[in-house]
Amino acid sequence: MNKSPNQKNTKSPDNSGHFGPYGGRFVPETLMPAITELDSAYRKARRDTGFKRDLDHILKHYVGRPTPLYEAKGLQKAVSQGIRVFLKREDLAHTGAHKINNTIGQVLLAKRMGKTRIIAETGAGQHGVATATAAALMGLKCEVYMGRKDMVRQVMNVFRMELTGAKVIPVLSGTQTLKDAINETIRDWVTNVGDTHYVIGSVVGPHPYPMMVRNFQSVIGRETRRQIRRLAGRLPDVVMACVGGGSNAMGIFYPFIKDPGIRLIGVEAAGKGIGTDLHSATLSVGRPGVLHGAMSYLLQDHWGQIKGAHSLAPGLDYPGVGPEHSIFKDSGKVEYAAVDDEQAFQAFKLLSETDGIIPALESAHAVAYLKELAPSLPPKSIVVVNLSGRGDKDVATVAELIRERADK
């Protein structure tokens, strides 16, 4: 393949883990040895053909990659006549979402580093399930911190983790949700750095996590490039994905980042509206600050206090976002939009009806924005939407909304 000469000269992130002003390592001194150990182990593994071979083998035979790129003719007709819409089917990956691409990579790396214990934190439980699954596959002990409130809301995922042999540890401090679970996990890691690896679930946290998770998830975009060339004979005009922490979006965007003329669009959750306090539109209305080990856009009040996030989609409900998305927003390399709960709910029903695909509520945000964008696109445009996950987990939530409406 032809590489243009300027393709190699920008290093992202730089050696200190910065994406422009964003990223970095804002961690307690006690964690620095663990993080530098991880960084050098990852750099070595990345260049090792044995590691790549093992990873590719698992992704193919266990996760089910490559996932299909499917031309959604029904959705296409419903949103606009003249364009072609392709869905990258991460919903068909093992455990039902893209998160497994990253957890398999990190657990394989942990094993290679000689770690015997995996820890993670989870909010809605999806990252916990993907981590527990990878740990079960590779025979490592796994403990997942989860706020007690989240455990009540997400019983099914708690069972899935326990069935695959993980221990779910209820977090009783603070709001008993994700941010308290993150604090507990960091505390655990500080105490047990010798034998333990902390699996972070998105392109967030201190360096090298944003870079490493991006690279593990980039398999999505690499496959998409190959597949769209074969199916449509050329690269797409638009690539879209929902953004929570930003890993599925980064995974599909990154292999297209150097192509001029391809619009990359990240879709955040506007919740009950970005004018309210109930949303997760970090890039649309947040300000830069430091959270969970890195500088990025954040939802915060005038005093820098982190605000609670909200979305109908549990996986988008996070007040931060990856540092690389933050620099892409500033540079304009990626466009960011936001759609609200109602639009996501409508898109969830739409894709279920038009193509018989029930999307995750997170992914439904990207579908919803496609609906808004489609009429303004030139005829014959090719759009790829990353379908980050399947909606089985959201069926009860959506059924409840439908029932509420019927009662009115």
Ligand X SMILES: *Cc1c(COP(=O)(O)O)cnc(C)c1O
Catalytic positions, please? 99, 121, 388
Binder among 200, 242, 265, 283 for ligand X (CB under 6 A): 242
Joined together, the tokens standing for residue 347 give 């898109």
User: Residue number with the shortest CB distance to ligand X?
Assistant: 389
Q: Does the protein bind ligand X through residue 246 (CB under 6 A)?
A: yes
Cα angle for residues 287, 183, 112 (degrees, 5° grid): 105
- Spatial distance between the Cα atoms of 362 and 374, rounded to a whole number of angstroms: 19
Q: Does the protein bind ligand X through residue 104 (CB under 6 A)?
A: no
Kindly write out the interface string for residues 52-91 of this chain, putting x where it contacts ligand X by CB under 6 A and - elsewhere: ----------------------------------------
Q: Does the protein bind ligand X through residue 95 (CB under 6 A)?
A: no
Q: Where are the alpha helices (DSSP H) in 154-276?
A: 155-163, 178-191, 209-217, 219-232, 247-253
- Spatial distance between the Cα atoms of 88 and 67, rounded to a whole number of angstroms: 7
| Nearest of 154, 57, 162 to residue 105 by alpha carbon | 57
Site residues for ligand X, 115-144, by CB under 6 A, read: 126
Q: Does the protein bind ligand X through residue 177 (CB under 6 A)?
A: no
| Nearest of 288, 241, 303 to residue 267 by alpha carbon | 241
Residues constituting the chain: 408
Kindly write out the interface string for residues 192-221 of this chain, putting x where it contacts ligand X by CB under 6 A and - elsewhere: ----------x-------------------
Binder among 103, 300, 363, 381 for ligand X (CB under 6 A): 363
Site residues for ligand X, 256-275, by CB under 6 A, read: none
Q: Does the protein bind ligand X through residue 362 (CB under 6 A)?
A: yes
236 burial (CB, 10 Å; 0-12 / 13-18 / 19+) is buried
Number of residues that bind ligand X (CB under 6 A): 19
Q: Does the protein bind ligand X through residue 99 (CB under 6 A)?
A: yes
Gap between the terminal Cα atoms of the chain: 59
Binding site for ligand X (CB under 6 A): 97, 99, 126, 202, 242-249, 315-316, 360, 362-363, 388-389
